[in-house]
């Protein structure tokens, strides 16, 4: 069977200035579809001009099944892409998967105009293979766990699929990609995972709806084989996309040791961690440096203990400071993930919070708004408190758009307050002098910084998020 897998182009403009990353989930699906012709179209590599490459693939490849993947803020685009495919060739069967399809399957299928035939819920590696087998055999996929499918004018939701044995999942098929040019600050990059899941219960996160409160590591030899594959394809940087790799410190140590032992530390690695996982394990941070992990996104969230407690975030200002200190000592770049828009936030508290973050000397700050994502506890609480302005326009639920207000600030005031602080941070002389990324690749970093500064200025002046429209 000819199968085209498509990743949506939506991403925050600030992210697109920094880099373009491929979709790992679709490559993993392609790796399981042995014996089929599979292509992967990462539309993010073409944004905002995505119509032509999409139509080109439909006409040249002529797929029988198209799989579409989207997060919550991308799902509106997924529907537009699906409608374009329907108009181009009504015979193509359409399946959608990803977080939003998993979280919102029943709500989505209440729409009689939904231009899809199937929803793949949860991990899709086995579900999609069994769906393809059913289609080839000409039978309805009644027995395919984790699948919702259209039957006449109604939808049937099969039982959920149990979590997969990660040791049984074949390596991703990155050779199925038709797009090139994935990069981070100009360096060729790819994405690898060493585990799935997170047992924590942060109120703003929906990961437990995918995996429950679990943590499952991949076998180390499988991780090594995956890293060898991306290196053989010309990759020079790797993003380890684990949901919470510091959940199991012993596993992370084994990964770092395997990278060093197998000479894979000639690649440069980025990873996302918790502050507590770093702060309480200084030997781990040293092992990360030996593995050439040079960039770490840390979900610090806030320097206000009350805000951290309000969302069940297992850290503290002191833990955040210790984590930052250890990264600096080991010459590892700190990307500080922060959140504003807590119900009691004020202009003054945001300014003070950012002041304390600047003292951590981060090499980059990802400043996000508290976003009431579907099925999260924070959504329930903020709706009950009347703090959500944009209840269901999910295309703006990307973290960089402000969808709420606080007890003392309007949505526009909150939006401008954070963007103004982001500008203040970016213009610090010390930020330019000490920045890890600037030392590594000054031309690419300065070009990205100029674009981001211009966007932040636009955001502050207009009170609206800068975004380019797609040609769909």
Residue 282 exposed, middle or buried by CB count within 10 Å (0-12, 13-18, 19+): middle
Determine the straight-line distance between the first and last CA of the chain, rounded to whole angstroms. 27
The neighbour count for residue 417, using CB atoms within 10 Å, is: 24
152: left (phi over 0), alpha (psi -120 to 50) or beta: left
The lowest-confidence range among 260-269, 321-330, 367-376, 445-454 is: 445-454
Query: Does residue 429 have a pLDDT over 80?
Result: no
Say what the pLDDT of residue 449 is.
84
236: which DSSP letter? -
- Per-residue pLDDT of 68-127, as tens digits, reads 999 999 999 999 999 999 999 999 999 999 999 999 999 999 999 999 999 999 999 999
Q: How far is CA 155 from CA 62, 112, 145, in A?
A: 27, 10, 14
Q: Which residue has 């292509």 as its token pair?
A: 39
Cα dihedral 470/88/157/205 (nearest 10): -10
- Own/partner contacts of 394-398, CB < 8 Å, gap of 24 or more, are 394/72, 394/73, 394/75, 394/76, 394/100, 395/10, 395/73, 395/74, 395/75, 395/76, 395/77, 396/73, 396/465, 397/72, 397/73, 397/371, 397/372, 397/373, 398/10, 398/11, 398/12, 398/73, 398/371
Q: Measure the CA–CA gap between 206 and 196, rounded to whole angstroms.
A: 13
Say what the pLDDT of residue 426 is.
79
Region 276-302 average pLDDT: 97
Q: Measure the CA–CA gap between 81 and 116, rounded to whole angstroms.
A: 11
- Calculate what percentage of the chain has a pLDDT beyond 90: 86
Using alpha carbons, select from 118, 122, 121 the residue that is nearest to residue 132: 118
Q: Measure the CA–CA gap between 340 and 324, rounded to whole angstroms.
A: 20
CB 374 within 8 A of CB 206: yes
Confidence of residue 437 (pLDDT cuts 50, 70, 90): confident
435: which DSSP letter? -
Region 33-42 average pLDDT: 98
Pairing mode, if any, of strands 187-192 and 183-184? antiparallel
Say what the pLDDT of residue 446 is.
85
Q: Measure the CA–CA gap between 14 and 23, rounded to whole angstroms.
A: 18
Cα torsion angle, 43, 47, 51, 56, sign: negative
3-state SS, residue 170: coil
CB 150 within 8 A of CB 118: yes
Q: Measure the CA–CA gap between 322 and 320, rounded to whole angstroms.
A: 6
Say what the pLDDT of residue 5 is.
98
Q: Which residue has 């027995």 as its token pair?
A: 143
Say what the pLDDT of residue 452 is.
86
- Per-residue pLDDT of 308-331, as tens digits, reads 999 999 999 999 999 999 999 999
Q: Which residue has 């000639």 as its token pair?
A: 266
Q: Is the pTM of this model over 0.85?
A: yes
CA atoms within 13 A on the CB side of 80: 16
Phi/psi for 458 (5° steps) reads: -60, -45
CB 158 within 8 A of CB 19: no
404: which DSSP letter? B
- Per-residue pLDDT of 231-287, as tens digits, reads 999 999 999 999 999 999 999 999 999 999 999 999 999 999 999 999 999 999 999
Confidence of residue 14 (pLDDT cuts 50, 70, 90): confident
Q: Measure the CA–CA gap between 390 and 402, rounded to whole angstroms.
A: 9
Q: Is the peptide bond before 48 cis (omega within 30 degrees of 0)?
A: yes
Using alpha carbons, select from 285, 314, 102, 106 the residue that is nearest to residue 198: 314
Say what the pLDDT of residue 432 is.
67
396: which DSSP letter? G
Structure tokens at 353: 């919070």
CA atoms within 13 A on the CB side of 467: 15
Q: Which residue has 């890890």 as its token pair?
A: 436
Q: Measure the CA–CA gap between 23 and 191, rounded to whole angstroms.
A: 8
Say what the pLDDT of residue 422 is.
86
CB 96 within 8 A of CB 78: yes
């Amino acid at each position: 069977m000819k199968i085209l897998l498509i990743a949506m182009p939506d991403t925050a403009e600030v992210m697109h200035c920094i880099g373009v990353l491929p979709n790992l989930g679709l490559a993993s699906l392609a790796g399981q579809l042995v014996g089929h012709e599979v292509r992967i179209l990462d539309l993010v590599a073409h944004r905002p001009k995505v119509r032509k490459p999409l139509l080109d693939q439909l006409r040249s490849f002529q797929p029988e099944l198209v799989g579409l993947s989207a997060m919550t803020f991308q799902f509106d685009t997924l529907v537009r892409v699906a409608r374009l495919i329907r108009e181009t060739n009504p015979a193509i069967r359409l399946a959608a998967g990803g977080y939003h399809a998993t979280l919102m399957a029943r709500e989505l299928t209440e729409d009689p105009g939904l231009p899809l035939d199937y929803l793949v819920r949860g991990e899709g590696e086995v579900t999609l293979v069994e769906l393809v087998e059913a289609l080839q055999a000409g039978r309805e996929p009644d027995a395919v766990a984790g699948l919702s499918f259209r039957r006449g004018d109604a939808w049937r939701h099969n039982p959920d699929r149990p979590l997969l044995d990660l040791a049984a999942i074949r390596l991703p098929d990155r050779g199925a990609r038709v797009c090139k040019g994935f990069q981070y600050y100009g360096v060729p990059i790819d994405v690898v995972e060493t585990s799935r899941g997170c047992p924590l219960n942060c109120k703003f996160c929906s990961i437990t709806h995918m995996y429950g409160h679990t943590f499952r590591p991949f076998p180390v030899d499988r991780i090594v084989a995956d890293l060898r594959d991306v290196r053989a394809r010309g990759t020079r940087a790797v993003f380890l996309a684990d949901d919470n790799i510091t959940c199991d410190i012993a596993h992370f140590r084994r990964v770092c040791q395997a990278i060093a032992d197998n000479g894979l530390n000639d690649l440069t690695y980025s990873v996302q961690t918790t502050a507590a996982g770093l702060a309480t394990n200084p030997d781990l941070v040293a092992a990360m440096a030996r593995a050439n992990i040079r960039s770490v996104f840390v979900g610090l969230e806030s320097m206000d203990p009350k805000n951290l407690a309000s969302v069940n975030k297992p850290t503290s200002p002191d833990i955040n400071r210790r984590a930052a200190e250890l990264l600096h000592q080991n010459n590892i770049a700190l990307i500080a993930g922060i959140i504003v828009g807590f119900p009691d936030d004020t202009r003054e508290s945001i300014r003070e919070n950012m002041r304390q973050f600047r003292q951590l000397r981060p090499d980059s700050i990802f400043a996000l708004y508290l976003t009431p994502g579907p099925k999260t506890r924070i959504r329930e609480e903020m709706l009950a408190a009347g703090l959500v302005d944009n209840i269901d326009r999910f295309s703006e639920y990307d973290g960089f758009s402000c969808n709420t207000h606080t007890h003392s600030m309007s949505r526009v005031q909150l939006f401008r307050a954070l963007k103004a602080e982001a500008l203040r941070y970016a213009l610090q002389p010390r930020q330019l002098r000490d920045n890890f990324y600037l030392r590594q690749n000054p031309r690419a970093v300065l070009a990205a910084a100029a674009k981001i500064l211009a966007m932040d200025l636009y955001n502050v002046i207009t009170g609206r998020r800068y975004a380019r429209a797609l040609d769909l």
